[in-house]
Chain A
Amino acid sequence: MSLLDSLISVVSSPMLQRSLIAALVVGLAAPVIGTYLVQRRLSLLGDGVGHVALTGVAMGWLVGSWTGAEPNDAYAVLGAVIAAVIGAILIEVVRSRGRTSGDVALALLFYGGIAGGVVIISLAGGTNANLTAYLFGSLATITTGDLVMTVIMAAVIMAVGIGLRTALFAVSQDEEFARSTGLPVQVLNILIAVVAALTVTVSMRVVGLLLVSALMIVPVAIAQLVTSSFRRTMFTAMGGGAAVCVIGLVITFFHRLAPGATIVVLAICVYAVIAAVRPLLGAGRGRAADPHPDMDDDVNVSKAGAQE
């Protein structure tokens, strides 16, 4: 079978089509909020929220088993969304208080999230194996309903993240100044936290909770290697995120690899390559102009003295 034949068979398979569309929209949406998180030096917020979301998944499962829902993980995603939003708001509150104990509080939240998830899933009569799909992604089993949900959530994330770009940039770049302009900084901070939580749950499908943060952060890390403005960093990261998600997924159509991990490994390889070749690319750029501002000296330097 030639490569072309296999590509055609991929495109004509509804299951693979669904997974490709999901990877594309998640790849586009995740870096949007990732850009603000990097700006705020909160790159690890996604990880924290991901851990907490696992407890939410297990809670949803528990509710499902009590109510005899079919399938029994019917409420798992809902549970993940609720837990992620609560977790993200808690992290934001701790951050804005600026307490030194915040670090420890966050650590407790992270470990509590994972441990809670494992304990609750066994209460619900499940096993750790049931959690694997959430921890490492489950693109292959995505249903049409899941896909619709994914597209809607990604659209909300992009609408908020791009639509309120200047205001969200303002609070992330200089919170003190933003407050002095009268902007409702607290509301905007919580908005970023909530949208980050949505991003975590929507990315859970593609790469799994353990790697969610990579999808939000690595494309941004790649983009900031090659851009010089916030706006371009965001849009470059979106393009890069979508590209690595789709290409990574297509690779797994031909090799038996786990999609989520493949996507993240691909993204990190791209980062490494660009970081390595960037000095070569940038060498010719902007060298001609004298970077020093044209200013008079602050001190009098004697010409004669300098020449001696």
Chain B
Amino acid sequence: MSDLISVTDLRVDLGSATILRGIDLTVGEGEVVALLGANGSGKSTLMRALLGLVPISGGDASLFGISVRNQRRQVPWPRIGYVPQRASVGSGIPATALEVVLTGLLHDRRWHVPRGGRTRALDALASVDLADRAHSPLHQLSGGQQQRVAIARALVRAPELLLLDEPMAGVDRPTQATFARLLTTLQSEGTTVGIVLHELGPIRPLIQRCVVLRHGVVAHDGGAPAPAPGHGAADHEHVHLDHGRHEPTDVREAVTPRSLP
């Protein structure tokens, strides 16, 4: 089995701070891996480092066996889809959902929308239940709908490796259910998925493996942490305990045995 993602002793410094250090991680073909951790623990930075969007200061990260650090140009970008954390709300110029999704068809060697690209983009929008909003300007869509446009923009690439950064943050339950269905389909088609989450929620059954970051190092790599009794997912616990931000309503957490080291 070949590794689609391979990270060895990765270190990332931003400004004067070391954000990630000593990260070792491999993700094999067809795996669905959740990346969990408190706010600011470095989840987004890890994903961005993998994609070569932030400079790597030590170690290495490879995609499809090719170093992102040293051979960025050789990385097979068309096989990779990325959904950034914040759905970017357009600027002054109105742009339609379809126009945004069409940009997902481009890569290092392709600067134009290919033949049949429009149909593919409309299909991608349909797969996130937005077929009827293709011609709506982005700024008229709700946050959840904009998030789904960003997912469609990654899906239109028909990626073998899909990286999603908190795709379910702030979306309503029906959108979460749609997303869980979509992920099931992708998994059955053999797509490798890396997904940053705050809680596993409706996609818990799909997740075979969880990687938990804490203060920029890997704190756990293995099965899904068991949910704490009477509370959401166990990763939730880390969010509060790691940073000592106990909310008064969550006192229970302090006495709940932690399921993770």
Contact indicator A230/B104 (Cβ below 8 Å): no
Q: Of B35-43, B83-91, B195-203, B239-247, which binds chain A?
A: B83-91
Residues from chain A with Cβ under 8 Å of B108 in the complex: 181-184
B172 sits at the interface (CB 8 A)? yes
Residues from chain A with Cβ under 8 Å of B157 in the complex: 181
Q: Produce 1/0 per residue, B88-111, CB < 8 A to A.
A: 101111111001101111111001
Shortest beta-carbon distance, B37 to chain A, in Å? 20
The one of A41, A164, A230 in contact with B111, judged by C-beta atoms closer than 8 angstroms, is A164
Contact indicator A38/B91 (Cβ below 8 Å): yes
- Taking CB atoms and an 8 Å cut-off, the chain A residues in 217-254 that contact chain B are 220, 224, 227-231, 233
Q: Of A83-91, A121-129, A144-152, A172-180, which binds chain B?
A: A172-180
A170 sits at the interface (CB 8 A)? yes
Chain B: CB-nearest residue to A43? B92
A-B contact count (CB 8 A): 110
Contact indicator B111/A167 (Cβ below 8 Å): yes
B75 sits at the interface (CB 8 A)? yes
Contact indicator B102/A166 (Cβ below 8 Å): yes
A304 sits at the interface (CB 8 A)? no
A278 sits at the interface (CB 8 A)? no
Residues from chain A with Cβ under 8 Å of B140 in the complex: 291
**Contact residue range for chain B?**
35 or more
The one of A39, A169, A296 in contact with B103, judged by C-beta atoms closer than 8 angstroms, is A169
Shortest beta-carbon distance, B114 to chain A, in Å? 10
Chain B: CB-nearest residue to A233? B93
A40 sits at the interface (CB 8 A)? yes
A199 sits at the interface (CB 8 A)? no
Contact indicator B84/A230 (Cβ below 8 Å): no
Known contacts A169-B99, A295-B172, A295-B174: does B106 contact A233 (CB below 8 Å)?
no
The one of B91, B96, B111 in contact with A40, judged by C-beta atoms closer than 8 angstroms, is B91
Shortest beta-carbon distance, B164 to chain A, in Å? 12
Q: How far is the CA of A46 from the CA of B259 in the complex (A)?
A: 58
Contact indicator A179/B95 (Cβ below 8 Å): no
Shortest beta-carbon distance, B99 to chain A, in Å? 5
Contact indicator A167/B82 (Cβ below 8 Å): no
B78 sits at the interface (CB 8 A)? yes
Shortest beta-carbon distance, A188 to chain B, in Å? 8
Q: How far is the CA of A201 from the CA of B130 in the complex (A)?
A: 44
**Contact residue range for chain A?**
20 to 34
B56 sits at the interface (CB 8 A)? no
Contact indicator B104/A181 (Cβ below 8 Å): yes
Chain B: CB-nearest residue to A164? B111
Residues from chain B with Cβ under 8 Å of A176 in the complex: 48, 53, 84, 88
The one of B94, B150, B173 in contact with A228, judged by C-beta atoms closer than 8 angstroms, is B94
Q: Produce 1/0 per residue, B59-77, CB < 8 A to A.
A: 0000000000000000101
Shortest beta-carbon distance, A185 to chain B, in Å? 10
Residues from chain B with Cβ under 8 Å of A169 in the complex: 95, 99, 103
B227 sits at the interface (CB 8 A)? no
Chain A: CB-nearest residue to B140? A291
Most central of A41, A166, A180, A230 by chain B CB within 10 Å: A180
Shortest beta-carbon distance, B90 to chain A, in Å? 7
B231 sits at the interface (CB 8 A)? no
Contact indicator B174/A296 (Cβ below 8 Å): yes
Contact indicator A166/B137 (Cβ below 8 Å): no
Residues from chain B with Cβ under 8 Å of A38 in the complex: 91-93
| B interface residues, Cβ below 8 angstroms from A | 48, 51-53, 75, 77-78, 80, 82, 84, 88, 90-96, 99-100, 102-108, 111-113, 135-137, 140, 142, 145, 150, 153, 157, 172-174
**Beyond known contacts A183-B111, A227-B94, A296-B174: 10 more, CB 8 A cutoff:** A164-B112, A169-B95, A173-B90, A174-B88, A176-B53, A224-B93, A228-B136, A229-B99, A229-B135, A230-B95
Q: Could you show 13 A-B contacts with beta carbons less than 8 Å apart?
A: A38-B93, A39-B93, A173-B100, A174-B88, A180-B82, A181-B103, A181-B104, A182-B108, A229-B135, A230-B93, A230-B94, A296-B173, A298-B172
| A interface residues, Cβ below 8 angstroms from B | 35, 38-41, 164, 166-167, 169-170, 173-174, 176-184, 220, 224, 227-231, 233, 291, 293, 295-296, 298
